[in-house]
Structure 1
């Protein structure tokens, strides 16, 4: 069972630990956040919370059945009824359906609570797991692009209210 919560300041310690524990794992699939991300984590979190309060973004933490923070799922650049979906699941939870469950939950929330009509997402071609999650959650390929110098795909999903 997967649950998720809207990001809040009280998640700071667990979120920082999650990012540190999974840094090498994430860097295998996406560009590393760099040392500055960790050194300036508190300020960065406050900036994210301010963006969330302004309605520009919606950030969430994902928890497993034991309540451990195992992932993140975010909606960024909210405008004109759309947003870009981003997500990451830690190594210990990978391959267990956590990402699929979390993306499904945020798609429902995006339509109902946030009033969005469509979501986009971007993956690199070599990230087959992420592309599979998006397919399972109703996203379709919507064009190619380059992601940090690597070939990638844009995906889109219309949302029903």
Structure 2
């Protein structure tokens, strides 16, 4: 009987085995300590703007981009502090007892990570908003430009068209 000479190619997803459940739980729990997503940030900010609800989301949202980028569009209520100015200006603008959530352009940019690092090194509690300004706009949340408020329809490839996403 002939023998097969074909080589089995391993499944690329399982080429490296998944972590043990306890390791995975520790990793994902830690990840949530460092990151917030756009929808959660929007929900927290929306409840603070709803009459009859507390007025403080419990964190400061910080846009770490340049002034030109801020003018092009930013999240309402965010504090503008470009990353390069954090060492000199953070203490005048931010309270170390209040957590800070940083954002920059989007997933292709690590500006929010650099801002979060700079703030952490100064003693601030900090998280990074995953997706940045790009996903804020793509998910259909309102934003402001130098010309005033704007909003786009949600991108159906990044946010549900109707109803909650269920995550």
Do both share a fold (TM > 0.5)? no
Using the size of structure 2 for normalisation, the TM-score is 0.25
Instruction: Point out the structure with max Rg over C-alpha.
Output: 2
Structure with greater proportional strand content? 1
Using the size of structure 1 for normalisation, the TM-score is 0.25
